[in-house]
Amino acid sequence: MGSGTVVVGAGQAGLHLAVSLRQGGDEEPIVLVGEEPHAPYQRPPLSKDFLAGRADQDSLAFRDPGYYEQAGIRLLTGERITGAEPGLLHTASGRTLPYERLALTLGAEPVRLPVPGAGLRGVCTLRGLEDARALRERLARAERVVVVGGGFIGLETAAVARSLGVRVTVVEAGERLMARAVAPVVSEFYRQAHTRQGTEVLLSAAVAGFEGDAAGRVRAAVLADGTRLPADLVLLGVGVRPRTGPARALGVEVDGGIVVDARSRTNVPGVVAAGDCTVRPHPLTGEGRLRLESVPSAVAQAQAAAASLLGRDEPDTSVPWFWSNQGELRLQIAGLSAGHDATVVRGEPASGQFSVLYFRRGALLAVDAVNRPADYMAVRRALTRGEHLSADRAGDAAVPLKQLLTEGTAQVR
């Protein structure tokens, strides 16, 4: 028996990669090594049910504790990989781990704003279970929270904080919320919805720094225009930076993330990568380099990576999808809207149930669905099967979208 596969990063992608190797018939040793003290767990509830106190830690675990031994996966938690050379990894505690095949599933880390006061106590980020636990405890005592960044994590956290009765201000530097991911009409809908819940939403507002008290605790966020927002808790939700850890030491190409192809292969033979740490081609067109920070993408890439390590050719061409729960509002996205030249809105935003369909040269690209799961499902199915949807008819919200789908014609992808 050889030294098998080492998977570095025991998160969403790492777990699925190890499981996929076993399911794919791999009988060689598998070591899954992660620096967090926990067995792999789900992150999405950290800004939703776990933060709100509706889910406990045990419910986050992907697998029962006994699974790893049964599956022959050696799980090393609390071990950080600090060095690498071909065939050998070094851990912070002084262990060496030999490998024949290597999978890098290192995830990403929150960006900390480079402004004065960002290191004060009470200025938090949210990525892992320990972050969420600390945030939950602080929220229970907080009176005023400033959330910096109007993206998914910031808004989900704002919704939970409001539901706990805390005063919340969201400060977004851009002109609209979730601008990277959704259409303007969706951004505006969410601005109004959060405002109705009592959250103050400031757009085009940049944070210049934070003020603290003598004990080093945050007391206020200060905006570029001089506005002072009192706060005893701040959440920074301003994006993540991919972790590339041992990649460079091994000669693996890094360009805004670990560069992989549709089969999750890096430029170094025997080294694959998956999840938030990667940049990968567009799954449907094969073009460009994208970073998709989502559970479905991490899982699909992990499966492609496991196939590659097993010598099988199973590229990830799955339709990207994503969800975000903010209070009662369920946003579901399928496809990628970049490059669209037309949008069609189905339903009335004022009704709280609507969707935005994106097209390019008449071909369906994506949907943002707000409390309209049937539209989301129909678009995901259409994109998966290459079915056509006429933009002219799509705006009639009374006709179920799935009735409008027709057998595949040439899709512009």
Ligand X SMILES: Cc1cc2nc3c(=O)[nH]c(=O)nc-3n(C[C@H](O)[C@H](O)[C@H](O)COP(=O)(O)OP(=O)(O)OC[C@H]3O[C@@H](n4cnc5c(N)ncnc54)[C@H](O)[C@@H]3O)c2cc1C
Q: What one-character DSSP code corresponds to residue 131?
A: H
CB of 211 to ligand X, least distance (A): 27
Helix (H) or strand (E) holding 108: strand 108-110
Pick the binder of ligand X from 21, 68, 99, 105 (CB under 6 A).
Answer: 105
Four-residue CA torsion sign, 298, 137, 159, 326: positive
* Residues between 251 and 270 that touch ligand X (CB under 6 A): none
* Residues between 178 and 217 that touch ligand X (CB under 6 A): none
Pick the binder of ligand X from 266, 294, 318, 326 (CB under 6 A).
Answer: 294
* 363-370 and 144-148 beta bridge pairing: unpaired
284 binds ligand X (CB under 6 A): no
126-159 exposure pattern, b = at least 16 Cβ within 10 A, e = fewer: bbbbebbeebbebbeebebbbbbbbbbbbbbbbb
Q: What one-character DSSP code corresponds to residue 121?
A: B
34 binds ligand X (CB under 6 A): yes
In the structure encoding, which two tokens stand for residue 16, read together?
Answer: 């699925």
Return the number of the residue (193 or 295) whose C-beta is nearest ligand X. 295
CB of 299 to ligand X, least distance (A): 8
323 binds ligand X (CB under 6 A): yes
The size of the interface with ligand X (CB under 6 A), counted in residues, is 36
Written as one string, the DSSP assignment of 345-412 is EES-GGGT-EEEEEEETTEEEEEEEES-HHHHHHHHHHHHHT-EE-HHHHT-TTS-HHHHEES-----
154 binds ligand X (CB under 6 A): no
Phi, psi of 202 (to 5 degrees): -110, 120
Q: Which of 77, 75, 91, 88 is nearest to 35 (CA)?
A: 77
Q: Which of 365, 294, 344 is nearest to 185 (CA)?
A: 344
CB of 93 to ligand X, least distance (A): 11
* 405-406 and 123-124 beta bridge pairing: unpaired
Return the number of the residue (187 or 244) whose C-beta is nearest ligand X. 244
280 binds ligand X (CB under 6 A): no
316 binds ligand X (CB under 6 A): no
Contact window for ligand X (CB under 6 A) among 63-71, 162-170, 226-234, 294-302: 294-302
* Residues between 383 and 412 that touch ligand X (CB under 6 A): none
Residue 229 to residue 54: CA distance in whole angstroms: 29
Beta bridge partners of 230: 220
Return the number of the residue (104 or 344) whose C-beta is nearest ligand X. 104
CB of 296 to ligand X, least distance (A): 6
28 binds ligand X (CB under 6 A): no
Residue 118 to residue 116: CA distance in whole angstroms: 6
Beta bridge partners of 168: 145
Return the residue nearest ligand X (CB atom).
11
Residue 197 to residue 159: CA distance in whole angstroms: 8
Pick the binder of ligand X from 99, 322, 359, 376 (CB under 6 A).
Answer: 322
CB of 278 to ligand X, least distance (A): 8
Three-state DSSP at 29 gives coil
275 binds ligand X (CB under 6 A): yes
Phi, psi of 207 (to 5 degrees): -85, 125
279 binds ligand X (CB under 6 A): no
Query: Residue for token digits 């499902």?
Result: 377
Pick the binder of ligand X from 26, 31, 36, 359 (CB under 6 A).
Answer: 36
243 binds ligand X (CB under 6 A): yes
Contact window for ligand X (CB under 6 A) among 142-150, 288-296, 309-317, 360-368: 288-296
10 binds ligand X (CB under 6 A): yes
Pick the binder of ligand X from 7, 21, 31, 35 (CB under 6 A).
Answer: 35
Phi, psi of 196 (to 5 degrees): -60, -35
Return the number of the residue (153 or 177) whose C-beta is nearest ligand X. 153
- Other CB atoms within a 10 A radius of the CB of residue 68 amount to 20
Q: Which of 52, 67, 54 is nearest to 10 (CA)?
A: 67
Contact window for ligand X (CB under 6 A) among 227-235, 252-260, 275-283, 333-341: 275-283
Mark residues 60-99: x for contact with ligand X by CB under 6 A, - for none. --------------------xx------------------
Return the number of the residue (135 or 220) whose C-beta is nearest ligand X. 135
Interface residues with ligand X (CB under 6 A)?
Answer: 8-14, 33-36, 43-44, 46-47, 80-81, 105-107, 126-127, 153, 243, 245, 275-277, 293-296, 298, 322-324
